[in-house]
Amino acid sequence: MPLNLRTPISRWLLGACLLLAGLPSQATLLPTDTHTAPLIIAHRGASGYVPEHTLAAYALAILQGADSIEPDLVMTRDGHLVARHDNELGLTTDVSQHPEFAARKRTQSVDGVPLSGWFSEDFSLAELKTLHAIERIPTIRPGNARLDRAFEIPTLQEIIDLVKSLQLSQQRRIGLYPETKHPSHFQRLGLAMERPLVRLLHRNGYFGASAPVHIQSFEVDNLKTLRGLTRLRLVQLLGAGQPYDQQLRGSPLTYTRMATPEGLRDIARYASGVGPDKAYIIPRDAAGNLGQPTAFIANAHAVGLKVHPYTFRAENAFLPSDLRQGSDPAGRGDLETEIRAFLAAGVDGLFTDQADIAVRVRAAP
């Protein structure tokens, strides 16, 4: 009899992952850190195989050998931290299939961009727990879409509980690499994320720069506030354009300016690392092929910053032109060669949707 993927498969798949790991019933200790540099960070979990930001995605990534898992964090109306790529829920949950929430759909500005949908800040945690995750890019990952509505939206505490259990069974320390999403937006709603996040991490035994935690953000003031609350490692993300908090304050600071030697020196005053878009390190040429490394890594290392670029994905749609295999955007290309190029350039870690591939490349002689 074929498996019906719309039954409570979440218990089945997650249970299988944990059975493979030999999950103990109690988990409170932090085993010795045994990961080999550079760091392999599971981007939203094993999101190349399972819908992102679900306990199954995080568990699978850990079993694939990821050193850290990355939960993107948003706030609920009643102040809980949950894992979603964005506060708009329509792309990653089945909220549109819930008639009881139809009236919650609205349009608002998020980081200066008009956006229509359902927003985490309009839902209590109990209400969010009635929703289920769906694949965010189903045309690129149709296999993942077969698992739509199989998994709940996890809280950060549930993710921590999973990590602490699996690291005991795996006999290695597993890192958390949370990202604060839209922190200025939530602050303006009276749902500031910084103190609840730090309280939760400290309450779970994560203190100081030696803890297996990195907190990342595309905003600047958010990280500076966090620096005043904790000694956990902070990472400044670098994208395109300008950090939204800098737009709000009328600052001319851009990501391009932040990526200069002087800008990196400023970042080093409050953060221990940077998470740049891959193009800052190895841009693509006019034909879309992988180009030559820039001086970014050397400049960052010169001021003591670790460099963890994003995002390494195996599908043709995301790869340089010369590493694609076939014409299907959803087909798998040569991610291994791309990863090898960035490892050779000297990155200290990388974000990937397919942690198993990155772990294999890292281990190769």
pLDDT, tens digit, 9 for 90 and up, residues 29-42:
444 444 458 999 99
Which pLDDT does position 28 carry in this prediction? Answer: 40
- pLDDT, one tens digit per residue, over 105-152 is 999 999 999 999 999 999 999 999 999 999 999 999 999 999 999 999
The predicted model scores a pTM of 0.92
Q: What is the pLDDT of residue 15?
A: 56
Confidence of residue 365 (pLDDT cuts 50, 70, 90): confident
Q: Is a pLDDT exceeding 90 seen at residue 277?
A: yes
Average pLDDT estimate for 148-167? 97
pLDDT of residue 204: 97
Would you state the pLDDT for residue 37? 85
- 10 Å Cβ neighbour count for 311? 17
Rounded CA-CA distance 335/328 in Å is 15
Provide the pLDDT for residue 5.
40
Q: What is the pLDDT of residue 1?
A: 31
Model confidence pLDDT, tens digit, residues 8-24 = 444 545 555 544 444 44
Q: Report DSSP letters for 81-101, one per residue.
A: EEE-SSSB-TTTB-GGG-GGG
DSSP symbols for 252-319:
---HHHHTSHHHHHHHTTT-SEEEEBGGGTS-B-TTS-B----SHHHHHHHTT-EE--B-B--BGGGS
Residue 14: the pLDDT is 56
pLDDT in tens, 334-355: 999 999 999 999 999 999 999 9
CATH class (in words) of the domain with range 32-89+153-363: alpha beta
What average pLDDT is seen over the chain?
Answer: 92
What does the pLDDT average to over 71-76? 98
Residue 108: exposed, middle, or buried by beta-carbon count in 10 A (0-12, 13-18, 19+)? middle
Q: What average pLDDT does range 316-332 have in this prediction?
A: 97
Burial (CB count <10 Å: 0-12, 13-18, 19+), residue 98 = middle
Mean pLDDT of 157-174: 95
Q: What is the dihedral of CA 206, 208, 210, 212, to 10 degrees?
A: 30
- What local confidence, expressed as pLDDT, does residue 2 receive? 33
What is the tens place of the pLDDT at every residue in 176-216?
Answer: 999 999 999 999 999 999 999 999 999 999 999 999 999 99
Predicted pLDDT at 209: 95
The C-alpha atoms of residue 164 and residue 156 are separated, in whole angstroms, by 12
